[in-house]
């Protein structure tokens, strides 16, 4: 059994982009290619990641950079072309961060449920296909995208829905993400917020939301879980020893 801060943990719910996979550079490249045909200047990766963490979708980001009064059909066309191009290159260019295979395997060995709650508005089928490409789909119990819930992060909707599908109370889940929005959503859901610094948010912004734990990467997170499990085993042995003495 895994105990963290005195609570038994039964599930771990992950964000995707910036947490499990390195997708921001590829998205920035495709985004700038898409807007170039409209004679718009390239935007920085920081602009895109900050917009995403603040809850903006692709159409809203495009409206930020297109001139006022731009015909909505042009924005919709640009959005569609960016999404199509990103899906084409995603399979070959977007890779998971190091340590994800070992982490997922170790979580399942501990009989913990694994969920995915993403701010993406893609279909769940697309996300299942992504993890099939990585060879990780057998570890995952539930995937919820923002398309399936009323509100995107920092609202807690996707996390709450994911915990329901996993049949695990959200308060018994570690909620792992890389942005302020992930931490806020985790806390609003009632889970235990965990920050991974593999994303694009700065450390000071992450710290301002006061997650329970902050780790440099997935490998460091996995080592922490192993240490918590060892402590839990020692605690269980001590409890059993006390019971024997009482007898």
Summarize pLDDT for 86-105 with one digit per residue, the tens: 988 888 888 999 999 999 99
Q: How much is the pLDDT for 200?
A: 60
Given a cut of 70, whether residue 162 has pLDDT beyond it is yes
Same domain assignment for residues 57 and 165: no
Same domain assignment for residues 89 and 102: no
Same domain assignment for residues 58 and 68: yes
Given a cut of 70, whether residue 238 has pLDDT beyond it is no
Ranking 38-52, 149-163, 230-244 by mean pLDDT, the lowest is 230-244
Residues 6+ apart with CB under 8 A from 27: 17, 48, 86
**Average pLDDT in the chain:** 88
pTM of the model: 0.84
Same domain assignment for residues 89 and 211: no
Report which of 100, 52, 50, 131 is spatially closest to residue 217, judged by C-alpha positions. Answer: 100
Q: How much is the pLDDT for 213?
A: 93
CATH number at residue 163: 3.40.50.1000
Q: How much is the pLDDT for 236?
A: 44
Q: What percent of the chain has pLDDT over 70?
A: 91
Number of domains in the chain: 2
Note whether 112 and 221 are within 8 A (CB).
Answer: no
Q: How much is the pLDDT for 234?
A: 45
Q: Name the pLDDT band for 217 (thresholds 50, 70, 90).
A: very high
C-alpha span between 208 and 214 (Å, rounded) = 12
Summarize pLDDT for 122-142 with one digit per residue, the tens: 889 989 999 999 999 999 999
Q: How much is the pLDDT for 15?
A: 96
Task: Evaluate the CA torsion angle 44, 46, 50, 52 in order and state its sign.
Answer: positive
DSSP secondary structure letter of residue 17: B
Summarize pLDDT for 182-194 with one digit per residue, the tens: 999 999 999 999 9
Same domain assignment for residues 66 and 110: no
C-alpha span between 149 and 165 (Å, rounded) = 13
Domain that holds residue 60: 24-93
Compute the average pLDDT of residues 26-31: 93
Which of 78, 93, 108 represents a domain boundary (last residue)? 93
C-alpha span between 17 and 98 (Å, rounded) = 14
Same domain assignment for residues 44 and 72: yes
| HSE of 181, CA atoms in CB hemisphere, 13 A | 26
Same domain assignment for residues 160 and 200: yes
């Amino acid at each position: 059994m895994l105990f963290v801060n005195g609570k038994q943990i039964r599930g771990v719910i992950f964000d995707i982009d910036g947490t499990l996979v390195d997708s921001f550079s590829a998205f920035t490249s495709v985004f700038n290619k898409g807007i170039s045909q409209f004679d718009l200047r390239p935007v920085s990766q920081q602009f895109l990641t900050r917009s995403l963490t603040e809850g903006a979708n692709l159409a809203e980001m495009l409206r930020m950079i297109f001139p006022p009064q731009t015909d909505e059909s042009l924005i919709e066309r640009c959005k569609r072309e960016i999404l199509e191009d990103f899906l084409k290159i995603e399979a070959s260019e977007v890779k998971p961060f190091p340590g994800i295979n070992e982490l997922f395997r170790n979580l399942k060995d501990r009989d913990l449920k694994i969920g995915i709650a993403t701010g993406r508005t893609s279909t769940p089928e697309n996300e299942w296909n992504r993890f099939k490409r990585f060879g990780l789909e057998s570890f995952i119990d539930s995937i919820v995208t923002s398309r399936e819930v009323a509100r995107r992060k920092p609202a807690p909707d996707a996390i709450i829905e994911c915990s329901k599908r996993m049949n695990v109370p959200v308060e018994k889940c570690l909620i792992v993400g890389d942005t302020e929005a992930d931490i806020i959503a985790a806390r609003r859901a009632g889970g235990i917020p965990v920050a991974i610094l593999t994303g694009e948010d700065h450390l000071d912004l992450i710290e301002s939301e006061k997650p329970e734990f902050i780790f440099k990467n997935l490998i460091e997170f996995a080592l922490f879980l192993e240490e918590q499990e060892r402590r839990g085993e020692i605690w269980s042995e001590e409890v059993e020893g006390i019971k024997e003495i009482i007898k």
